[in-house]
Amino acid sequence: MSTTRSVTVSRRGILAAGGAVGIGALLAACGGDKGAAGANGVAKGGPWSFTDDRKQKVSLDHTPQHIVAFTGTAAALHDFGIDEQIVGVFGPTRLKNGKPDPQAGDLDISKVTILGNAYDQFNVEKYAGLSPDLLITNMFEPGALWFVPDDSKDKITGLAKSVAITSARVPLLTIIERYAELAKSLGADLKAKKVTDAKARFEKAAAALRKAATSHPVKVLACSGSAGLFYASNPGISADLMYFKSLGVDLIVPDHLDKGGYFESLSWENADKYRADVLLLDNRTATLQPKDLAAKPSWAKLPAVKAGQVTPWSSEPRFSYAGAAPLLESLTKAIEGAKKVS
């Protein structure tokens, strides 16, 4: 079994089964006429190249004009100013009510072709029809292209060059900076007011979270719920949790991690193994939310639940300053308003 296949079974398999665990609680699976040259490429005409996190130098004879990306990736690039070049997306994009999935961020999903709204829905024919010259996605495990199905991976990667950005095991800010590099190479102006304002907001939010973690010391557990299991996430792997912890947030570290190290899966009878003051609950559409969990007696008995100290966790963060700042602000508010109950 290949590395990619094993990642898919363990991480994406859980997602497909509806027992989805957040990124911190899951185990795997063109317009170059504007802006200055990026560190890895040339944004203004001529050849373009970028060395991705597979240590592969991806080169084209022109700046990519037809980019297809994982939805969250496209949203992050949009935040940095890459917009018109993005012609297609794949991954959670549109909710059942027709509204954009949270992972789409500020991306106008009416202006892009959606190749699939869930894993294994990647439409290869539609992809080919877009005449793609670059595919961009996250990489949570080495060599595994996020939401690119294994069964059609060879066909997909044969149609256009691909870029993968590591999205786990390194802190959030490191990944945001890599996306900034990539966006700059594609033509983004990182000195644009939209970008600098977002960065200033992010830095202010980070300082506020650090202050809150010091002045309001409470224990926080990042978690996710499915019908049969409660997942306690590992802050040593998930990019956002790693960053929160670096700012002083007292995140609980599970002591019996499942294979892969992303989380510890617990039966609902043992959901109280870790006594937390605040629960960061995975808020993705595939996971159970407080209204869904209310009927579970073991959930209702958790001290943080009793105290009303449950806050949403965007476990697949958008890797941009604009996407990450609200996450920091939300956690800061939760910590400042929490009391010790564990």
**pLDDT tens digits for range 268-295:** 999 999 999 999 999 987 899 999 999 9
Check which CATH number belongs to the domain holding 163 and give it.
Answer: 3.40.50.1980
167 and 212 co-located in one domain? no
**pLDDT score at 26:** 35
**pLDDT score at 338:** 97
Q: What percent of the chain has pLDDT over 70?
A: 87
* Local confidence band at 342 (pLDDT 50, 70, 90 cut-offs): confident
**pLDDT tens digits for range 32-59:** 333 334 444 444 568 999 999 999 999 9
83 and 133 co-located in one domain? yes
Number of Cβ within 10 Å of residue 279's Cβ equals: 23
Across the range 126-151, mean pLDDT stands at: 96
183 and 203 co-located in one domain? no
219 and 295 co-located in one domain? yes
180 and 222 co-located in one domain? no
Query: Which token pair is 321?
Result: 């300053």
Closest CA to 326 of 206, 174, 189: 206
**pLDDT score at 337:** 97
Instruction: Please identify, among 189, 205, 237, the residue that sits at the C-terminal boundary of a domain.
Output: 189
Instruction: Please identify, among 142, 160, 189, the residue that sits at the C-terminal boundary of a domain.
Output: 189
Residue 318 · residue 103 · CB < 8 Å: yes
Instruction: Please identify, among 189, 224, 245, the residue that sits at the C-terminal boundary of a domain.
Output: 189
Residue 184, CA atoms < 13 Å, CB-side half-sphere? 16
**pLDDT tens digits for range 5-28:** 333 333 433 333 333 344 333 333
* Local confidence band at 137 (pLDDT 50, 70, 90 cut-offs): very high
119 and 41 co-located in one domain? yes
Q: Letter for the amino acid at 165?
A: I
DSSP helix/strand/coil, 221? strand
201 and 180 co-located in one domain? no
**pLDDT score at 45:** 66
- The mean pLDDT of the chain is 88
**pLDDT score at 21:** 44
**pLDDT score at 35:** 35
203 and 178 co-located in one domain? no
Q: How many domains does the chain have?
A: 2
Report DSSP state, residue 319. S
Across the range 72-92, mean pLDDT stands at: 97
38 and 62 co-located in one domain? yes
Q: What percent of the chain has pLDDT over 90?
A: 83
Kindly give, in sequence order, each residue whose CB lies less than 8 Å from that of residue 185, ignoring residues fewer than 6 positions away: 37, 38, 39, 40, 41, 42, 43, 48, 49, 50
**pLDDT tens digits for range 193-238:** 999 999 999 999 999 999 999 999 999 999 999 999 999 999 999 9
Q: How many helices (H) and strands (E) does the chain have?
A: 12, 13
**pLDDT score at 285:** 78
The domain of 49 spans 3-189
9 and 45 co-located in one domain? yes
Across the range 104-111, mean pLDDT stands at: 96
